[in-house]
C-alpha cells in the first residue's frame, strides 16, 4: 500500500499541531496507509513537549517572546525557526506490527545516510549513559537519548512519539542552522559548513525513508475531511487552555 507524502507551506504553530492531530485521528481509515508530512513555521515558535510545565519557558530567555504551542508528543521544547519539521502518522495495524522503535531507527538512519551524500558526517547517538538522575534541560536539542542524530557531537535531529487508538504519531525536527531565538544551538550549516536547502532535504530524505520501509510515497495534500477536523482542533483544542495545562 502506498504512503502519503505531504510537503506543506509555513504555518502558525496551532495549525501545524492541529493538522498533525487530524492526520492521526484519520490514520485508521480503511484502505489508508501511513502519512509522512514535512512542514515549516510562519514565525519562530516554541513547541513544548506534552509533559513539560508551561512556566518553565521563562527560564529560556531567547525564546520568551516567541509564540508557543504544546505538542501532543513528549520530549523537550523546540524552537522552530531554522529547521525542518516532520510528522509521521501510521495506522494501529502498522505500528503494532512493526513496533515503536523501528520508526525512530528508520527515519534517523535515513537522515544520516542522506546527510552523508551532502558531505556531512552525522552519527547515531548511543545514549546519554547511566548515572545520577538530573532534571532534563528545557530545550530538546540540549538533551541526549539513544537514536538522536549528532553532528560533531551536537544534536541536530530528534523525534518523539505518541500512541493513539487510531495509530501512532511521531514528531521530529532537524536543526539546520542557529536561530536568534536559540543562539546556543548550532545546526547542520554551522557544524558542517554547508548550506542545506530544507525543501530539497525533505524530498530526498522522504524517498530514502520510503525505500527503507519498503513503501511507495505518493505526493498529495490533506483531504477536506482532515482540513475540517484540523480547523476544529485549532479552534477547540490547541489554544491557551491546552498550552497552559501543566
Residues labelled as active-site residues: 140
3-state secondary structure the chain: CCEEEEECCCECHHHHHHHHHHHHHCCCCCCCCCEEEEECECCCEEEECCCCCHHHHHHCHHHCCCCEEECCCCCCEEEECCEEEEEEEEEHHHHHHHCCHHHHHHHHHHHHHHHHHCCCCEEECCCCCCCCCCCCCCEHHHCCCCCCEEECCEEEEEEEEEECCCEEEEEEEEECCCECCECCCCCHHHHHCCCCCHHHHHHHHHHHHHHHHCCCEEECCCCHHHHHHHHHHHHHCCCHHHHCCC
Sign of the dihedral through C-alpha 142, 197, 195, 116? positive
C-alpha cell recorded at residue 94: 502498522
Comparing C-alpha atoms, which of 21, 10, 80 is closest to residue 48? 80
Amino acid at each position: 500500500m502506498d504512503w502519503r507524502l505531504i510537503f506543506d507551506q509555513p504555518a502558525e504553530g496551532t495549525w501545524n499541531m492541529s493538522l498533525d492531530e487530524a492526520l492521526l485521528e484519520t490514520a485508521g481509515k480503511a484502505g489508508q496507509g501511513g502519512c509522512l508530512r514535512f512542514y515549516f513555521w510562519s514565525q519562530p515558535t516554541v513547541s513544548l513537549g506534552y509533559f513539560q510545565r508551561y512556566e518553565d519557558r521563562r527560564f529560556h530567555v531567547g525564546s520568551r517572546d516567541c509564540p508557543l504551542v504544546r505538542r501532543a508528543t513528549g520530549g523537550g521544547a523546540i524552537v522552530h525557526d531554522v529547521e525542518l519539521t516532520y510528522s509521521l502518522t501510521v495506522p494501529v495495524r502498522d505500528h503494532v506490527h512493526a513496533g515503536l522503535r523501528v520508526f525512530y531507527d528508520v527515519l534517523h538512519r535515513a537522515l544520516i545516510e542522506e546527510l552523508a551524500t551532502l558531505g556531512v558526517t552525522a552519527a547515531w547517538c548511543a545514549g546519554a549513559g547511566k548515572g545520577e538522575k538530573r532534571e532534563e534541560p528545557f530545550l530538546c536539542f540540549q538533551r541526549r537519548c539513544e537514536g538522536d542524530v549528532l553532528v560533531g557531537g551536537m544534536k541536530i535531529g530528534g523525534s518523539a512519539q505518541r500512541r493513539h487508538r487510531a495509530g501512532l504519531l511521531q514528531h521530529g525536527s532537524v536543526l539546520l542552522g542557529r536561530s536568534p531565538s536559540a543562539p546556543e544551538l548550532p545546526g547542520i550549516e554551522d557544524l558542517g559548513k554547508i548550506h542545506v536547502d530544507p525543501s530539497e532535504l525533505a524530498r530526498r530524505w522522504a524517498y530514502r525513508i520510503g525505500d527503507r520501509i519498503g513503501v511507495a510515497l505518493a505526493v498529495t495534500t490533506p483531504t477536506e475531511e482532515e482540513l475540517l477536523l484540523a480547523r476544529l482542533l485549532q479552534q477547540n483544542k490547541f489554544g491557551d487552555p491546552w498550552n497552559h495545562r501543566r
